[in-house]
A and B are shown apart, each in its own frame.
Chain A
Amino acid sequence: KAGVTQTPRYLIKTRGQQVTLSCSPISGHRSVSWYQQTPGQGLQFLFEYFSETQRNKGNFPGRFSGRQFSNSRSEMNVSTLELGDSALYLCASRNSPGVLYEQYFGPGTRLTVT
């Protein structure tokens, strides 16, 4: 079974631009969560999508948004990029929420904002 895949793996953007990251979950998994990892703040939960609906959200500004498609693939978008958005963005998939299924992480997208 293929694991969670994320594209692109590396990205360099300029302040003020916007960026879209993509995540394909493990086949059969319908829930996708996104995390931001920085040296200072650690791993912080962004949001979780299930059945094309956002069911959970962390404490991030509205510049961070996401969506999920009918095939469970998910994208996250960050608009008006700031230097502090430089981070490793990880997505994780699990079978479904509401049940104690373990989640599996993708390789991450390293975003650098200059």
Chain B
Amino acid sequence: ELKVEQNPLFLSMQEGKNYTIYCNYSTTSDRLYWYRQDPGKSLESLFVLLSNGAVKQEGRLMASLDTKARLSTLHITAAVHDLSATYFCAGHLMNRDDKIIFGKGTRLHILP
């Protein structure tokens, strides 16, 4: 059964700093997703990672996937206050279960 663990679960950082959120998963995952959620709002898709070595970037966020290590990272460069949100990773295993399993989320608080 696919399990997804994120760390840290809470991160408070200063504007302008860099940091990385880690997402480990327990079995082979056919896809890895990153989502953003603002308080009281729904999930917004950020990245979909398909294959080993995949790297995607959007603004100050960059996601990567290492399928051999079963690890995905979300790197934040020169953080700004607007990036404060909860970030979720999710694994998708295409077997007969075909479920998308979420990590517990990382609550990111960026201090001005």
Binding site for B on A (CB under 8 A): 33, 35, 42-45, 48, 55-56, 58, 90, 92, 97-98, 100, 102-108, 110
Interface mask (B50-74 → A, CB under 8 Å = 1, otherwise 0): 1000000000000000000000000
Inter-chain pairs besides A42-B103, A102-B45, 6 sampled, C-beta below 8 Å: A42-B105, A45-B99, A56-B97, A90-B42, A92-B43, A110-B40
Tier of interface size on chain B: 20 to 34
Interface SS majority for chain A: strand
Indicate the member of A33, A35, A42 with the most B CB atoms within 10 Å. A42
Instruction: Verify A108–B42 contact, CB threshold 8 A.
Output: yes
- Chain B 26-54 interface residues, beta-carbon cutoff 8 Å to A: 30-31, 33, 35, 40-45, 48, 50
Which of B30, B35, B45, B98 contacts A56 (CB under 8 A)?
B98
Which of B44, B97, B100 contacts A103 (CB under 8 A)?
B100
Judged by a CB distance under 8 angstroms, whether B102 is at the interface is yes
Binding site for A on B (CB under 8 A): 30-31, 33, 35, 40-45, 48, 50, 88, 90, 92, 94, 97-105
Query: How distant is the Cα of A107 from the Cα of B42 in the complex, in angstroms?
Result: 5
Instruction: Verify A45–B33 contact, CB threshold 8 A.
Output: no
Note all chain B residues with C-beta closer than 8 A to A45. 99-102
Query: How distant is the Cα of A103 from the Cα of B92 in the complex, in angstroms?
Result: 11
Note all chain A residues with C-beta closer than 8 A to B102. 35, 42-45
Note all chain B residues with C-beta closer than 8 A to A55. 98
Note all chain A residues with C-beta closer than 8 A to B50. 100
Note all chain B residues with C-beta closer than 8 A to A33. 100
Query: How distant is the Cα of A100 from the Cα of B90 in the complex, in angstroms?
Result: 13
Instruction: Verify A107–B41 contact, CB threshold 8 A.
Output: yes
| Nearest chain B CB to A28 CB, angstrom units | 17
Query: How distant is the Cα of A13 from the Cα of B83 in the complex, in angstroms?
Result: 34
